[in-house]
Every structure is written in structure tokens, then in C-alpha cells.
Amino acid sequence: MAAPPVPARDAAFTVTVGAKGSWTQPDDTPAVPYLDKDGTFYYQQSHALYGASDPRKWTFYTGTDFDTATRSGRISDAVNPADSRDRNNDTT
């Protein structure tokens, strides 16, 4: 069995953190970013409460980056044409 690699002793890392920014779209899950096939930036979050009539939904945002993204109604309100119960804004 080979010995694990030994880290270099000269390695040095620096992490710099700026001032905390504002986050205007907090929700239940971490924001998951992705680029669509034409390179458009999106991120998706979900929201779910547990009462029988509480909301459960996926919300999608688009913009240049996290700071400029706004809600995409086209995707957030999308409904499966074959089954109207299958929708992003009500995942119950």
C-alpha cells in the first residue's frame, strides 16, 4: 500500500473576506446556481412548510450574478401542460 502524499511545508494560503453583503432572497435551501445552454445565469431555491395548507415551491432567479438576479416568473410559475398539478410554484 502506497504512503499518502506529504503536504508541502511551504504551502501558505490566504482567505480574505469583505464586508457582509445584503441577501434579499433567503429561503429554506441553499441557492443552487447553474448556467443554461445559452449561458444565462440562474439559481434555484426551494421553500417548504409542513402544515397541510402551507406553501411548498421552487423559485428560480436569473440575472448577471447572485447580486443582480431577480425572480424568473417564466420558470418559477411553470406548469406541466399534461398535468396542471405538476407545477414549480406548488410542489405539493
Report the 10 Å Cβ neighbour count for 85: 9
Residue 37 has a pLDDT of 94
Cβ partners under 8 Å of residue 50, min gap 6: none
Domain ranges of the chain: 32-76
Give per-10-residue mean pLDDT for the chain (92 aa).
72 80 79 93 90 90 92 96 94 83
**pTM of the predicted structure, to 2 decimals:** 0.70
